[in-house]
Amino acid sequence: MTTGVRRRMGVEERRQQLIGVALDLFSARSPDEVSIDEIAAAAGISRPLVYHYFPGKQSLYEAALRRAADDLAHRFQEPPEGPLGARLLRVMRRYFDFVDEHGPGFSALMRGGPAAGSTTTNAMIDEVRQAAYEQILAHLRVGEPPVRLALVIRSWVSLAESTALQWLDGRRIPRAELELQLVHDFAALCAVSAAYDDEMAAIVARMLADEPVQGPITELLGRLTRLAPPAVPPPR
Amino acid sequence: MTTGVRRRMGVEERRQQLIGVALDLFSARSPDEVSIDEIAAAAGISRPLVYHYFPGKQSLYEAALRRAADDLAHRFQEPPEGPLGARLLRVMRRYFDFVDEHGPGFSALMRGGPAAGSTTTNAMIDEVRQAAYEQILAHLRVGEPPVRLALVIRSWVSLAESTALQWLDGRRIPRAELELQLVHDFAALCAVSAAYDDEMAAIVARMLADEPVQGPITELLGRLTRLAPPAVPPPR
């Protein structure tokens, strides 16, 4: 119960406060385990007052998810300057920052718990994926992407999700290593696609042309070249 | 309504028939769009009789999904003979056969519609992923996988899902190309991980040592080598 000492908030201010409190709780534990009572207690208001602002837990969850989705989409934005590998690496760092901050809630959402699998939440997940996809297209300076490039980018976005989820499950690999690995994975998936398709080969060649010798992608190519020769059996 | 001309089925036989009919319908359209009335009509029995065997649509959906999951896990099984690349390619063909047969139902399930996001269906999806993971480990002859190998395999399983879902959305790339690409993606993700980790490098070296010159993985390495040199800028 409120005691009257606290100053009164306006409607929108209170809504925003509740969303923030809820996002913290939904991030720290599986949303199914968070009750309206807890949210009310953390916000310092009564349970009925929470219902005054939000009809139920699901609508508060969706509002919290909306804020998180906007935050994540914002972190994908990166000035189109400098080599692509370095830009992607900075984005991966901010992505893992986000995943780190919202760990249990991110896992619960992406693994599709009961609270998570609604049409609204699925639409928000797809929207963030689409934002990531469009950012990468913009960085590659490709307007109408060939279908194979679209496939590679969307596949890589799902790879980044899957890698982050596995990292959260025990954190047994340093996240900095995974951030770099995902940049490399992107280059590798592009290269695989380019090996059999001329249009993709031209895109990859342009991508690599801007990479500095000290950059993460050129460094990988050097390491792969050293890895490959002894492993490939000589022609018989 | 049954007319009496049809021979009477035993309880288990009828259950199995209903599961088969339901699986066909749930595969051909989003499960949310399939009604018990349709299932009853397709099975040639009355709606109340369906409820005699299954308490509701969700339980029939889960039984159909159980059969599909067992079928898919079965398709992952591949004799441990011959080069790994060729084995993986055969598994990918059977995987795309499955995806092709169950297209709309597979999409609806993996994209998490209202019917799909239950604890039971999520557990079945995870079980199939685990079966795929264990099959690959067995083919690599690795008992206790290093954490980086586990990550690569699970990441690749999710990449295969994401690639299949994108293929279903318009089928704009021939599936044979994607089946081969996924084998290459596996090699590429392993190689990326191996570039920075000695344990992974040893596993990849052993993997490549068994690959024939005509095999899909060696062929890729040749193509990548031809792709890379002109693209890497010379040291300044």
10 Å CB burial of residue A143 (0-12, 13-18, 19+) is: exposed
Question: pLDDT below 70 — which residues of chain A?
Answer: 1-7, 113-117, 224-236
Weakest mean pLDDT among A35-44, A86-95, B26-35, B71-80: B26-35
Measure Cα distances from B95 to A96, B167, B217 in Å: 32, 12, 19
A154: nearest CB among B114, B162, B212: B162
Whether A66 contacts chain B with CB within 8 A = no
Is B180 inside a domain boundary?
yes
ipTM: 0.88
Please report how the helices A147-168 and A119-139 are oriented relative to each other, as an axis angle in degrees rounded to 10: 120
Is A20 inside a domain boundary?
no
Q: Which residues 80-109 of chain A have a CB within 8 Å of chain B?
A: none
Higher pLDDT, A226 or B195: B195
For B235, the closest chain A residue by CA position comes to A213
Answer whether residue B229 shows pLDDT above 60.
Answer: no
How many CB pairs below 8 A link A and B? 162
* pLDDT number for residue A234: 43
Q: Say how far apart CA A138 and CA A142 lie, in whole Å.
A: 6
Q: Got the DSSP string for A196-214? A: T-HHHHHHHHHHHHT--TT
Q: How far is B76 from chain A (nearest CA, A)?
A: 21
B236: nearest CB among A159, A181, A213: A213
The alpha carbon of B148 is separated from its chain's Cα centroid by a whole number of angstroms, namely: 22
* pLDDT number for residue A235: 46
**Are B223 and A195 within 8 A, CB to CB?**
yes
Q: What is the average pLDDT value for chain B, to the nearest integer? A: 88
* pLDDT number for residue A108: 86
**Are A192 and B220 within 8 A, CB to CB?**
yes
Higher pLDDT, B203 or A97: A97
Q: How far is A84 from chain B (nearest CA, A)?
A: 14
Residues of B whose CB is below 8 A from A221: 228, 232
pTM for the model: 0.89
Is A110 inside a domain boundary?
yes
Confidence of residue B212 (pLDDT cuts 50, 70, 90): confident
Residues of B whose CB is below 8 A from A175: none
* pLDDT number for residue B226: 63
pLDDT in tens, A41-91: 999 999 999 999 999 999 999 999 999 999 999 999 999 998 899 999 999
Measure Cα distances from A81 to A77, A85, B190 in Å: 12, 11, 30
Residues of A whose CB is below 8 A from B163: 151, 155
Return the number of other C-beta atoms located less than 10 Å from residue B55's C-beta. 9
B117: nearest CB among A112, A154, A196: A112
**Are B204 and A227 within 8 A, CB to CB?**
yes
pLDDT in tens, B144-173: 899 999 999 999 999 999 999 999 999 999
Answer whether residue B31 shows pLDDT above 80.
Answer: yes
Q: What is the CATH number of the domain that holds A103?
A: 1.10.357.10
Answer whether residue B231 shows pLDDT above 50.
Answer: no
Domain count, chain A: 1
Q: Say how far apart CA A43 and CA B57 lie, in whole Å.
A: 41
Is B198 inside a domain boundary?
yes
* pLDDT number for residue A206: 86
Determine contact, residues A76/A135, Cβ cutoff 8 Å: yes
Is A230 inside a domain boundary?
no
Is B17 inside a domain boundary?
no
Tokens at B136, concatenated: 């690959």
Confidence of residue B236 (pLDDT cuts 50, 70, 90): very low
A224: nearest CB among B162, B191, B223: B191
Answer whether residue B114 shows pLDDT above 80.
Answer: no
**Are A111 and B122 within 8 A, CB to CB?**
yes
CB-based contacts of B112, cutoff 8 Å, min separation 6: A112, A116, A117, A122
**Are A173 and B220 within 8 A, CB to CB?**
no
Domain extent at residue B199? 73-225
Weakest mean pLDDT among A28-32, A45-49, B125-129, B130-134: A28-32
Answer whether residue B235 shows pLDDT above 50.
Answer: no
For A191, the closest chain B residue by CA position comes to B224
Is B132 inside a domain boundary?
yes
Whether A175 contacts chain B with CB within 8 A = no
Q: Say how far apart CA A86 and CA B187 lie, in whole Å.
A: 24
Residues of B whose CB is below 8 A from A225: 225, 228
CB-based contacts of A192, cutoff 8 Å, min separation 6: B181, B184, B185, B188, B220, B224
B162: nearest CB among A148, A158, A196: A158
Give the mutation candidate from A33, A119, A180, A232 for the B interface (greatest B CB count, under 10 A).
A232
Answer whether residue B230 shows pLDDT above 50.
Answer: no
How far from each other are the two terminal CA atoms of chain A, in whole angstroms? 82
Whether B30 contacts chain A with CB within 8 A = no
Is B19 inside a domain boundary?
no
Measure Cα distances from A236 to B73, B213, B224 in Å: 37, 8, 21
Give the sign of the dihedral formed by CA A193, CA A195, CA A201, CA A204.
positive
